Amino acid sequence: MKAAVLYEVRQPLKIEDLHVPDVDDEGVLIKVASCGVCHTDLKVIEGRNRFTPPTVLGHEVAGTVEQIGARCGDFKVGDRVIIGMRYKCGRCRYCLSARENLCERRPAPPTLKKIDGTEVTRWNVGGFAEYVSVPGYLAFKIPEGIPMEEASVVGCRVTTAYNAVKHRGRLEPGDSALVIGCGGIGLNTVQFLKCFGAYPIIAVDIVDEKLEAAKQFGATHTINASVEDPVKAVIKLTDGGVDKAFEAIGNPKTSDQIIQATRPGGTATIIGGLGNGPFTISSGRFVTSEITITGVSSRQANDVDEVFQMAKLGRIELKSLITKSYRFDQINEALADLEHGKLRMAVSLWNRQSD
């Protein structure tokens, strides 16, 4: 099979031939149709997230079940599925309390092999490939009527935003809300805020085109942070700050800004991964103001099916999130376009050509 392999930080991925992975008794082999190109993949390439080279990136997988393990009775060959969770140990206190996204003993996925026998690791599930083998619990059936390309992004960026708004931010109808960063995660956060009844919904970015997109997805107010201080603007607009603030970039400066723009008793939710580096909060006001600061780790298992149902009912938009589809051999072009802010969201196509 073809797969995109990363050998070094900040180097292009190489399309190479690998063996199709084996399937264990409780697993499924997925013939990949579409795999989202996510900022998390970029962070690995930039060296912000650790990896063991050579490795295959990609985690927003949609495809069809090609083979089923002997003890995997939940699927049949031909089922359309996404990969909607991460590996779990199944035994730690988090797995046993239905919070598998916080698994503290998460196993590494089985390695792949090149034709010459060289071992290749998988970062997350290794979705930039023609085939992916995973345990059955990672796969979720795609409802009828939702195309593969749209379904693939549900596996990470859409459901992560849902987790942020519903579980971590605990949004209540009528809460005022702020979102800094209007990429894929940010736009999804905006549309879930609209679904759950937030008002006003303030979107912040430095690119006017992204702010216009935020309006399409439900933002009631926008602020260009290259023109005015977003914290001062939000406090003035809301007479003291928002009830719920969300950071969707993974930047220490903007993560501090959402805390400073949250009103007393509110919640500041950092969705973007900050990595292991230091993070400074510029004011200790959040202590006496009883502001809750929280983070987000992917999604909870029930989130995937709930988001699919919202999509089927037309409560959320998927199609217009995707700016462009790329053939698998254009994967480096897709990553470059993502890095330079040319895309809302993008997908790479495997086992078929783009239209």
* Residue-averaged pLDDT of the chain: 95
Chain segment 146-188, per-residue pLDDT in tens: 999 999 999 999 999 999 999 999 999 999 999 999 999 999 9
Token look-up 């059936």 returns 141
pLDDT interval class at 353 (50, 70, 90): very low
Nearest to 259 by CA among 275, 277, 244: 244
Token look-up 């600061």 returns 293
Question: Is it the case that residue 13 has pLDDT exceeding 50?
Answer: yes
Q: What are phi and psi of 317, to 5 degrees?
A: -105, 135
| CB proximity list for 48: less than 8 A, separation 6 or greater | 273, 275
pLDDT interval class at 278 (50, 70, 90): confident
pTM for the predicted model, two decimal places:
0.94
Mean per-residue pLDDT for 20-28?
96
